[in-house]
Amino acid sequence: MHEPQILHYSAFTADPRGGNPAGVVLDARGLDAAAMQAVAARLGYSESAFLSPRGDDEFDLRFYAPTGEVRFCGHATIATAAALAERAGPGRLRFHTRAGEVRVATRIDDGIAAATLTSVEPYVESEVPDLATSLAHVLRLDADALDPGLPTRIAYAGGREFIVGVRTRAQLAALDYDFEGLLAWCNTHDLQGGIVIWRESATVFHARGPFPVGGVVEDPATGAAAAALGAYLRELGPGRTAGHGDGVAGRGHGPPQPAGGRHRPAGRDRGDGSGGGDRGLTDRPFPACSWPLPPLAGEGWDGGVTDRRHPDNAQSKSDQSRRT
């Protein structure tokens, strides 16, 4: 089995001190599931991407967290597309993932590769009795902390994600959830992860992304959960989102700050490099950047993952909560 070339990218930023890091393997042919899992565990990023070409601009793309395979990962998709654009030039790509086909348009802006991703068709599930109560318990949120205007739901845009809203920014900043409890809760409900949000205004939301299923305490920025959030806000209607086709801006909360994204219902391809498709949600172009040297096992990275829950990169939950 050949030793793969591993690239290190940070998505949603042009500065490697920010965004969300991902490992990228542009030629994963010959790697079996165990080998891909081993690479992801060694890197310790929330997800790493493994690409196998099918033909011109068409690829199989798989994603692994430190603890196992995930169906879809938005930031690793952006990172992979940017890596291809830097090597083969900008254009349109088709990725075949476990969640379905994902189309991406790439471009080069002032020497920086950027990518626009259109999600698979999203949906929001009907309200489940007692869902909010049981989720609040493992998130260590009091019942009165939940925002009744942002009802707890499960949404999908490549992976099933929980969405829960809190009333104040202070409650979002103080989030200190039960790692093992939320992991068990997500496994029980067959969820990939989730997102906790606070509404600053009708068009601006702050968010944090717990990700115990992937073996990390928190994703600093997320594509799959952000797309699911876009579907959720769209379904709530113009009274709670921007309305009138204006989209919704999102902001990360706490260091590192992920770039905000504007989500809108996807229309037909406009032919201007902005993505397209008849279904799903599409973002404005997001940049991604690489850096030359990987972090060593057990070492942190000042702009990347704040906690890695696997044997070589363990850190206590109390240490992580103080840093965020």
Q: Tell me whether residue 115 is exposed, middle or buried, using C-beta atoms within 10 angstroms of its C-beta: 0 to 12, 13 to 18, 19 or more.
A: buried
User: Could you list the residue range(s) of the whole structural domain that residue 114 is in?
Assistant: 7-121+288-309
Which pLDDT band holds residue 53 (cuts at 50, 70, 90)? very high
Cα angle, residue 186 at apex, residues 241 and 42 outer, rounded to 5°: 105
- For the chain, the domain total comes to 2
% of the chain exceeding 90 in pLDDT: 62
The enclosing domain of 21 has a CATH number of 3.10.310.10
Q: What is the pLDDT of residue 222?
A: 86
| Start-to-end C-alpha separation, the chain | 40
Q: Which of 162, 194, 173, 319 shows the shortest CA–CA distance to 253?
A: 173
Handedness of CA 48, 54, 55, 56 (dihedral sign): negative
Instruction: Report yes or no on 275 lying in a domain.
Output: no
Residue 207 sits in the same domain as residue 223: yes
The pTM (predicted TM-score) of the whole model is: 0.75
In single-letter form, the type of residue at position 102 comes to V
Look-up of token digits 């019942």: 143
Tell whether 214 and 297 lie within a shared domain.
no
Decide if pLDDT at 39 tops 80: yes
In whole angstroms, give the CA distance from residue 148 to residue 274: 35
Give Cα separations from 221 to 19, 47, 73, 271, 277 (angstroms).
Answer: 6, 12, 11, 28, 24
**CA triple 251-210-126, angle to 5 deg:** 85
Q: Specify the higher pLDDT residue, 278 or 137.
A: 137
Do the domain assignments include residue 283?
no
Q: Do 289 and 9 contact (CB within 8 A), yes or no? A: yes
Same domain, 77 and 28: yes
